[in-house]
Amino acid sequence: MIISITDDFNLYKIANCGQCFRGVEIKDGVYRFITKENVIYLKEAENNPKTSHTTKLDISATKSEWEKIWMPYFDMERSYKDVRALIKDDSYLENAANLGQGIRILRQDAFEMLITFIISQRKSIPAIRTSVERISKLHGKKLKTDYETIYAFPTAEKLANAKDLESCGLGYRLPYILEASKDVKSGLLDLDKLYSYDDEELFNALKEVKGVGDKVSNCICLFAFNRTARAPVDVWIKRVIDDQYNGINPFPKYGENAGIMQQYMFYAAKNQ
């Protein structure tokens, strides 16, 4: 199915801005994204005019799947053009947003993000991807598509009882992952309930999980719960704050869009 998008949308940047570790280019401009047991393949249509403000995509989903699953996943109700227009009197962020134009904040599965960002600590993006794929292959449901056979991210029930995760490169994070999985399985950590929390309540509730500090909690808030007011600060963003803003955090003035601005800065810091 061919769809037209008139807002910012760039498959490469969405997949490579540090928020998603299973969104990848599998061949010749075809990108694959997975959420729970749902898989989509997207590619820019060949007749996509580079001078147009419209992006045409050839997608593997039906119309109803796109509207029900993937439009929320890609945050299609938000105008990222309008978000970029909010940037004033900040040349560094303006340049970062121009470089990162096309990024969108994905609404990913909460359990997957909890485990993924526990894994992410002190790991490179390629290493995170490798660990996540190994875990999925060991304990996730097999999914056969026209392109490949892949595996969904495991459920909490599967991971809570896993005895073979040592081969996944998890190191000191392994006990945290097992405990978090057991907490979700038992209901001690009710991820569905967390959607009703305000941002600060959500942030603090996630920090009660062993292995979840400020940065990881903010990442889960932003990339699973779509709390775009949360702006995670890692070593890259800390460097930007120190070098470009004299150590003064620039995100609070952007309110509900702070997390989007953070992604522009992160992408720029990694790619300039």
Q: pLDDT by residue (tens digit) across 210-264?
A: 999 999 999 999 999 999 999 999 999 999 999 999 999 999 999 999 999 999 9
Residue 54 pLDDT: 87
In a domain, 44, yes or no: yes
Of 197, 218, 239, which residue is a domain's last? 218
Distance CA 211, CA 115 (A): 10
Among 156, 154, 147, which residue's Cα sits nearest to residue 132?
A: 154
Same domain, 57 and 155: no
User: Domain check: are 214 and 114 in the same one?
Assistant: yes
The whole-number pLDDT of residue 272 equals: 80
Q: Which domain holds residue 210?
A: 110-218
Per the annotation, the verdict on 182 as an active-site residue is: no
Residues in the chain with pLDDT values less than 50: none
Strand partners, 44: 57
Q: What pLDDT is attached to residue 52?
A: 60
Q: Which of these is catalytic: 141, 185, 215, 238?
A: 215
Q: Is residue 155 part of a domain?
A: yes
pLDDT at 46: 74
Query: Do 124 and 30 share a domain, yes or no?
Result: no
Q: How high is the pLDDT of residue 47?
A: 65
pTM assigned to the model: 0.94
Is there a domain that residue 200 lies in?
Answer: yes
In-domain check, residue 188: yes
C-alpha separations of 164 from 18, 44, 122, 160 in Å:
27, 40, 22, 11
In sequence order, which residues have a C-beta less than 8 Å from that of residue 18 and are 6 or more positions away?
125, 263, 266, 267, 270
Helices marked H in 21-79: 63-65, 71-73
Cα 224 to Cα 19, 206, 228, 250, 260: the distances in Å are 10, 12, 10, 23, 14
The confidence score (pLDDT) of residue 51 equals 54
